[in-house]
Structure 1
């Protein structure tokens, strides 16, 4: 494998590494959306502090998955989709179907989640559907006109707002420190299995974890010399996510568990939480929370609009390059920003934005929900298993293959996500 001048760039000195952190924050912020906030809060409301350990385990698993993805990109000089292609044509068919269906349904979901807090903050302005359309269009224009460097900066601002708001409210509700520490001991209260698995597997990213390597490359990190920087970036990001998730559990435990308040299912449950905060602390606190709600939702929208479009653009580029020898990768060299200006990238941006707008006005058809649920349930096991496969064979340089700890964490991830997948499929409204 040849090494270009850009690939040979050394990582920054230690004193500058902290200022270089970014791609991990982007992937973590994208993965924590409104649905994750609801799931975490509901877990806290039902079981108090007893599932804090599950949130910590979930972050460790996401660290392992994102680290493996980033290591693949940096150690091999090939993208994760290039690696998937080396495993057989079945990966191409699966991913192609998945990314089209997922993008259509997620586009509507992301626009609705971003619209909900705005419609609540400004109730006498636009309808919910209009707010959703505006959020989608703003996301489209922003990603269309800007490159990764600007995307990263706005994502850092959004996750900063989200973090300060949620952690600030968690501190204000006065957590029970003793119960919080006790919650680090693994326990499974009656009826908590589904919530435990959801906390471990659901918070902090799905398909966006696969986009991490593309963001790493877009940052200008290329070659094995950047692996140490990538690992620091990844760990800091998911430590931040862990604190954030624990803060949401605290809010659920203190505001809802003790008072036996139930949230509405779905993203609208956060509006219920805003009402609870208003009753207890006043309108100002509720408004601040809704701003944090918007930051979480819109950061996910921006992240997906950019990151999954990069995945799709790479998918199209590999298909155009032809089959050849998939294990040899491709000789195509993509300069920074080139993929973001490509036609496939912009076509998928349009796909995420305009067709899903119809879902803002109509109930989603049951057939689409079923397809989305089945394909989505299979993606995380697919990611974990294929990373195990690719990083334990000669597809990766020997010195950068998985060690025992990485293999153990990825195997645990694969097992967990298979269990979640089976549960998701069984629970679908067949």
Structure 2
């Protein structure tokens, strides 16, 4: 690879790792670990299936942004206002639960690390205030750099924890989870599986976030990425998120399932159990280190989510200001310029944070149930987002040479059918169970 090509690739690397950092939060620290703790290794195929069937639709976000210079919201509008409004309805239905869940998890870890005896709502307010202050000064570059460092540190520490958990040869039959097979077919078991599918490795509305982050990265570096480089960046982050998910399932199975332990329902108690799990594997010397690492990871996830939703809101407001005219295209040579309305972004920060805090105040005590509700909402909306995103990248608006090839299209069709089928099964089960 020539030096100019290497420089272009380096300039493109960032949004994919930011996406991975947003993914390695509740879905991994909470849901994947719970999966291993409650079902052993039984649900590893489910996690890998979720990552496979969601891959095309999440990849379409950076693909579209690199090919057209616009974010996916523009693509939805060009497809038809009905598509844009579908995305808006899905976002409105999930924004506050998702923001609340990631904030609540971070608050639980904060209370554990600093031994703070305060209400979880007040700690959540402190976490969100810190995120808002950081983001209001426009620190995308800091967010980008920090996520790269944190993802590298988390990957290494998780890998080391898994390897140390294998110090004694495990009884694979005991941790396989085969004994839990019948429990999967209960309403509670099916609900957990669908919740796992909903957020593993990350909800599908993140495709639009990723397209916006790709634009922001182009502005930050002054370089518009090629489709090839943008897709490579995505694959790098996506592969990392998938591998780390399997690591967390292994840790839950090796350290909790074999001991017959189950997770608490409160955020603070859950966080304490999570740190205990690492300490059992690495040793007591690591307890403080792991607690701080887990807090940093979840804070980064909360920061990414807190940044993404207001950007989506601001982009929507910007399109309303265009009055149906051709949307403004990102000019990467003008570093620091934002294509979304900055005041809309700031208002979005305050509105979304306030709504999340209200949810935490009402439902924060039932942490794991709260997580399941948020993840199931994401799962049920997945077929809608998958369909309209696929329509965008196969429409005449997309340059022919940048459209997905036959293999990726086939995988997208399989993924859409499975996502729709799983949603219908869940709906039927809820109606007739």
Contact 1:313 1:339 in 2 (8 A): no
Counterpart for residue 155 of structure 2 = 163
Which is further off, 69-78 or 338-347? 338-347
- 1:266 is displaced (CA, Å) by 7.0
What is the distance in 1 between the residues matched to 2:371 and 2:163? 38
Change (3 A) 1:83 1:277: closer
**Is residue 238 of structure 2 the alignment partner of residue 203 of structure 1?**
no
| Aligned residue pair count | 411
Deviation, structure 1 residue 171: 1.7
1:272 aligns with 273
Structure 1 stretch displaced more, 59-68 or 26-35:
59-68
Check the 8 A contact 1:24/1:234 in 2, yes or no: yes
Query: Which residue of the partner structure matches residue 151 of structure 1?
Result: 143
> Which secondary structure does the structure 1 equivalent of 2:398 belong to?
coil
In the other structure, the counterpart of 1:248 is 248
Q: Which residue of 2 aligns with 1:397?
A: 399
Q: Deviations over 1:237-290 (max 9, x none)?
A: 112112211110110111122222122347553432333455676543333332
Structure 2: runs of 5 or more not aligned: none
Is the Cα contact below 8 Å between 2:41 and 2:250 reproduced in 1? yes
CA contact (8 A) 2:70 2:329 kept: no
Whole-Å separation in 1 of the counterparts to 2:354 and 2:3: 40
Alpha-carbon distance in structure 2 between the residues aligned to 1:91 and 1:372: 22
The corresponding residue for 2:313 is 312
Q: Is the 8 A contact 1:101 1:372 kept in 2?
A: no
Alpha-carbon distance in 2 for matches of 1:359, 1:302: 18
The answer to whether the Cα contact below 8 Å between 2:158 and 2:247 also exists between their aligned partners in 1 is yes
- Supply the distance in 2 between the matched residues of 1:92 and 1:365 (Cα, whole angstroms): 35
Tell me: CA distance 1:395–1:16, structure 2 relative to 1, closer, same or farther (3 Å): closer
**Mean Cα deviation higher: 124-133 or 136-145:** 124-133
For residue 121 of structure 2, give the secondary structure of its aligned residue in structure 1. helix
Distance 1:345-1:428 versus aligned 2 partners, 3 A rule = farther
Counterpart for residue 213 of structure 1:
211
Per the TM alignment, residue 133 of structure 1 is displaced from its structure 2 partner at its CA by 1.2
Match of 2:385 in 1: 383
CA distance in 1, matches of 2:257, 2:168: 13
Gaps of 5+ in 1: 1-9
Measure how far apart 1:140 and its partner are: 0.4
Find 1:408's aligned residue among 407, 410, 415: 410
Confirm or deny that 1:172 pairs with 2:161: no
Label 1:261 to 1:240 Cα distance change in 2 as closer, same or farther (>3 A).
same
Superposed CA deviations along residues 307-358 of structure 1, whole A, max 9, x for unmatched, are: 222221111111222235xxxx535556654246611111111112234323
Change (3 A) 1:353 1:199: closer
Q: Is the 8 A contact 1:162 1:295 kept in 2?
A: no
Determine whether 1:108 maps to 2:100: yes
Among 55, 69, 78, the alignment partner of 2:70 is 78
Deviations 1:136-162 (A, max 9, x none): 000001111124222111222332343
Q: Does 1:226 align with 2:218?
A: no
- The partner residue of 2:111 within 115, 119, 136 is 119
Aligned to 1:238: 238
Task: Tell me, in whole angstroms, the C-alpha distance in 2 between the residues paired with 1:349 and 1:168.
Answer: 37
Question: Does the C-alpha gap of structure 1 residues 18 and 309 become closer, same or farther in structure 2, counting only changes over 3 Å?
Answer: same
Q: Do structure 1's residue 45 and structure 2's residue 29 form an aligned pair?
A: no
Displacement after TM superposition at 1:30 (Å): 0.7
Aligned residues of 2:66 and 2:226 also touching (Cα < 8 A): yes
Whether the 8 Å contact between 2:36 and 2:253 is mirrored in structure 1 is yes
Contact 1:11 1:229 in 2 (8 A): no
After superposition, the C-alpha distances for 1:102-156 in whole angstroms (9 at most, x for unaligned) are: 3333333232111101111222454332221111000001111124222111222
Q: Deviations over 1:370-425 (max 9, x none)?
A: 99778644432222111221222312122222211111222233223324434565
For residues 302 and 427 of structure 1, the distance between their equivalents in structure 2, rounded to whole angstroms, comes to: 36
Question: CA 1:55 to 1:361, structure 2 compared with 1: closer, same or farther past 3 Å?
Answer: closer
Give TM-score scaled by structure 1 length: 0.82
1:4 corresponding residue in structure 2: none
Tell me if structure 2 keeps the 8 A contact 1:140–1:349: yes
